[in-house]
Amino acid sequence: MVFTRLLHSSANLARVVRHTSRLTAVQIKIQNTLKWAAILGLFGFTGIVMVVAAAYLYLAPLLPEAETYRNVQLETPLRIYTSDRRLIDEIGNRRNPVDFEDIPQVLTDALIATEDVRFYSHYGVDLRSLARGLYGLVRGVNLGGGSTITMQLANILSFDSDNVYLRKIKTIPFALQIQQELSKEEVLNLYFNTAYFGAGADGIGAAAYVYYGKDVRELSLPEAAMMISLLPCPSACNPFSNPSRAIERRRTRLANMLREGMITQAEFQDADHAPITAGRRNRDIEISAPYIAEMVRQQLYDEHGEEAYSQGFEVVTTIDGDKQLAANQALVNGLETYYDKRHGYRGATANYPLELYADQNGDARKSWLEELQQVPVFGNQQPAIVTSVSDLSFEAILKSGQAATVEWEGISWAYKFNSRNDAWPPPQVAADVVQVGDLIRLKHSDESWQLGQVPDIQGALVSMSPSNGEIIALVGGYDFRRSQVNRVITPRPPGSNFKPFLYGTALEQGYSAATTINDAPITRGDYRPNNYENNFLGPITLRYALKESRNVPAVRLYDQLGDDKVLEFARKFGFQTQNFPRNDLTVALGSQDVQPLEIVTAYSTIANGGYKVEPWFIKEISNLADGQLFHATPVTVCEDCNLANNDSSTEIIPAPRIIDAQVAFILNSMLRSVIEEGSGARVQREIGRSDLMGKTGTTNGPTELWFSGFNRDIATTVFIGFDQPEPLGEREQGATIAVPIWIDFMKVALENMPENTMKRPDGIEDRLINKTTGALATPGEPDTMFEYFRTENAPTTDGALLPGVDLNEEESEELSTETIF
C-alpha cells in the first residue's frame, strides 16, 4: 500500500516537473520574443526619430521665420474715383486685422467645434486626427480631415508655390514650429486675421464688415456660424452665391457647437431659424463706371503687378460723376427703348412648370425663389417668374421675394418677334405673351412694372473735353456684368461719321462749302455707289452733300482728291490710316474700322478749332507708402499758353495745331447744317441750342449706327451694333437710335452750361450765294444764304470756285443696292 502510494506520488511529481518545464520554456520563448520585439521597436523608433530629425533638419531652413507671420499687415485695395472723388470701384482683397480680445467667444467656439475640438490639448498636430484621416483614406470613406487649426494656419501662411505633397509634408513641422513660438490665443488670432472668407475679404475683421456691415465684436451666434461655414469654400458656399447651401452649412456648425456643449438647444433652435442677413457691403460704389475702372485697373497692373491690388493705390480719374450717371442711363434706356422694344418680344428665357416646382400645398414660390437667386440683374431688367396670368395683366415674383403686378400698359408693346424686320402680331391678352412659370424680365418705370427683356444689341458712349482730351463719361456696353468687352475701344466701320474728314480735306485743298459736285452715277471697276434715297440730284454744294449725307457725291469727291490727300488729312486727327486700303473708294463712306474713342477725339479737334488733343482718363495716382506718384499734364488748347503758364502753378503743354482755324470754322458751320436741316435735325428740335454740331453714320445692312456731335465744351460719340455684326433692321439709321441716345445724354451734360462755339477766326469772309447752285446771289433773290469762305478762296465773280470738277460729267450706270450713309 505504502509502495503504491509512493509510486503514485512519484508519477504526480513527474507530471508537475514536466508541466513546470513546459511553462518555463513558454516563458523563455515569450521573453525572447519580447526581447527581440523591444530590440526591433528600439531600432524602429530610432529609425523614425532619425527620419523625422533628418526631415526636420532638411525642412527647417525652408520654414518661414516667426517675424514673417507674427504681425499681419493691413492690405488696402485699389480704389478708383471720379474727378470729384466719388468712388467708382474698389479692386482687391481687404484685410483689417483685429486683436484677439475683440473676437467674440461664439466665433472661437464655432471654429474649434468644427475644425479642431482638441485644439487646446495638442501641440499643433493631432495624431488621433491624422490617424483617423489616414484610416478613412485607406477605407475610402470620409472620416474628416486630419488638419488642426495650427496646420491650417501653416498652410495659409506659406507653401503657395509648392506641389500638394511637399506642402502637406511641410505643414506638420511648420505647425509644430508655430505652436512652439505662439500661444494658443496667438494662433487663433493669426488664423482669424489671415483666413480668406470670400467676397474679397481677407481676415475676419474685413469679413464682418463685408457680409454684415459690423465690427467683429458685434457678430451674433448665427452670423458667427455662417462665417465659419465659409472657410473651406468661401466662393461657392457664401450666402450671396448659394443661400440654401449656406443655411445648411451654418446648421452643421451650430450642431457641432451643440454637440460640444458650447450652446444650448434653445440657442441652437433660435440661430438655426435666423434668416440670412448678409449683404455685400465691401464696395460702397457711388458712381457706376466699370468700363473706365477696368481701363484703370489694367494700366495699374501693367505698371505695378499684383501690388496694385493691395498697396493702397488711389486713382482719381477725369470722369465727371453726374455726366457718367447720365451716360449710363442714356445708353441703357436707349438700347432697351429705342431699339429692342421696337423689334418685338423674343419670349421667356425659360419655364419652371408649377406642377414640377410646387410643394405638397401646391405652392411653388419657394422653389421659384431659389431659381431666381441664380439669375443676375442686367441693366434695368429684374429677373422674375410669372405666378399667375389674368386677361390683361399678370403677377410675378422677383428675386427679392417681392410680388409685382404688370398691367396691360406694360404688356401691350410685346409684339411677337419674328425677325429684325418683322414683329407681328400684337398681343390681345396677357396669355399671348407669358405663361405661369415663365422666367422673364421686369422693368420698373413711372411707378409701375413693365414687361422687359435684356437687349441682345450692344452700344457705347464716350464723351470728352475738346480743350484737353479728358474723358468725362464712358460707357462701353449695356452691362459690364454681362459682357466686359469695351466697345469704346473696339474698332468698327463708322459709315458717314467719317465724312467730315473727307470734306475737311477738300476745304484744306481749296474747295469751299459752296463748291458744287455732281450727284450723278459713278462707276469705278465693279464699284457703283448709291444714295440712300435711290435718286440723283445733279450738281449740289458740298454743304448740301454733307448735310444730306449723300453717298455718291462723297465717293466722287474722294476720287477727285485721291487717297494720299484724304488719308494724310485723317491721319493728323489720330486715325490709323496706315491700315486703310489704297484705291478703295468705299473709304469715303467710312468702310474702315475705327474706334469710337478715335472718332470722338477727332471730332474734338474740329470742335476746338483745329488743335490735336489726346484722350486721357487718369488725373492722379497715389498710394499709402509714397503719396502722390503721378499727376497728369495733358496737352491743352489755349489762346496764349505763355500767359496761362504764368498764371498757373502747373505747366500747361500747348496742344499742336493740325488744321487751319479757317478750315475748322467752315467745317463747324457745315456740321451745324446737319443739326439744323439734315439727319441730326432731331437734336435741334429736342435740345434747341444754337451751338451744337454733329454727323450721323449708318453702314451697309445696316450693321452699325453712329452719331457724333459737339459744342466747344463737350464732344460725344454714340455707337450702336451687335458684337457679331449683323443687320439691325432695314428701317434703322443713325438718326433712329444713336441720335436719341446722344440727345438724352447731352440734355443732362449741357444743363446750366452757356452756349459755346468756336470763335470766328481772321481770314473768313461771307458771301450771299444761291443755296442750290453755290453761285453768288444778289439781295432779294429767293433761296439764298450767306456762306463762309476762306479769304483766299472767296468768289469775286458770279459762280463759286470749283476746282477739279466737270459739271458735265454724266454716267448712267445701274445702281448698287448696297449703301453706306
CA pair distance 387, 396, nearest whole angstrom:
5
CA angle 480, 239, 160 (to 5 degrees): 80
pLDDT at 21 over 60: no
β-bridge partners, 78: 91
CA pair distance 257, 111, nearest whole angstrom:
9
Q: What share of the chain is helix, strand, coil (3-state, %, to 5)?
A: 45, 15, 40
Helix (H, G, I), strand (E, B) or coil at 491: coil
CA pair distance 510, 508, nearest whole angstrom:
6
pLDDT score of 808 = 39
Answer whether 443's CB lies under 8 Å from 411's CB: no
Scored b (16 or more CB within 10 A) or e, 207-227 reads bbbbbbeeebeebbbbbbbbb
Helix-then-strand count for the chain, H and E: 24, 26
pLDDT score of 63 = 67
pLDDT score of 103 = 97
Q: Which triple of cell numbers denotes residue 614? A: 489726346
Among candidates 569, 80, 141, which has minimal Cα distance to 309?
A: 80
β-bridge partners, 383: 441
Residue 115 is among the residues annotated as catalytic for this protein:
yes
The single residue of 75, 83, 90, 115 carrying the catalytic annotation is 115
Per-residue pLDDT reduced to its tens digit, 134-159: 666 556 655 556 789 998 898 888 75
CA pair distance 604, 465, nearest whole angstrom:
7
Answer whether 77's CB lies under 8 Å from 95's CB: no
pLDDT at 259 over 70: yes
* Alpha helices (H) along 609-734: 641-647, 661-677, 681-687
Per-residue pLDDT reduced to its tens digit, 300-350: 999 999 999 999 999 999 999 999 999 999 999 999 999 999 999 999 999
β-bridge partners, 448: 445
pLDDT score of 817 = 30
Per-residue pLDDT reduced to its tens digit, 474-517: 999 999 999 999 999 999 999 999 999 999 999 999 999 999 99
CA pair distance 744, 683, nearest whole angstrom:
10
The single residue of 496, 669, 673, 708 carrying the catalytic annotation is 496
- pLDDT-derived band at 176 (thresholds 50, 70, 90) equals confident
pLDDT score of 693 = 98
CA pair distance 422, 633, nearest whole angstrom:
53
Residue 751 is among the residues annotated as catalytic for this protein:
no
Among candidates 498, 380, 356, which has minimal Cα distance to 442?
A: 380
**What value does the mean pLDDT of the chain take?**
89
Among candidates 784, 763, 754, which has minimal Cα distance to 514?
A: 784
CA pair distance 749, 709, nearest whole angstrom:
13
* Alpha helices (H) along 60-126: 67-70, 105-115
DSSP class of residue 528? -
SS3 per residue for 774-786: CCECCCCCCCEEE
Q: Express as a percent the part of the chain with pLDDT over 90.
A: 73
CA distances from 322 to 60, 179, 319, 534 (A): 58, 55, 9, 43
Among candidates 708, 685, 684, 687, which has minimal Cα distance to 698?
A: 708
CA pair distance 739, 742, nearest whole angstrom:
5
Strand pairing report for 78-81 and 314-317: parallel
Averaged pLDDT, 609-613: 98
Per-residue pLDDT reduced to its tens digit, 469-478: 999 999 999 9
pLDDT at 2 over 70: no
pLDDT at 708 over 80: yes
Q: Which triple of cell numbers denotes residue 631? A: 499727376
pLDDT at 818 over 50: no
* Alpha helices (H) along 60-104: 67-70
Is the pTM of the predicted complex or chain greater than 0.85? no
* Alpha helices (H) along 275-320: 290-304
Answer whether 250's CB lies under 8 Å from 106's CB: no
Q: Is the peptide bond before 425 cis (omega within 30 degrees of 0)?
A: yes
Averaged pLDDT, 9-22: 53
Comparing 54-58, 108-112, 722-726, the range with the smallest average pLDDT is: 54-58
Answer whether 107's CB lies under 8 Å from 228's CB: yes
- pLDDT-derived band at 811 (thresholds 50, 70, 90) equals very low
Q: Which residues contact 326 (CB under 8 A, 6 or more apart)?
A: 473, 744, 745, 748, 749
E strand segments, 50-169: 78-81, 87-91, 94-95
pLDDT score of 768 = 97
pLDDT score of 131 = 67
- pLDDT-derived band at 235 (thresholds 50, 70, 90) equals confident
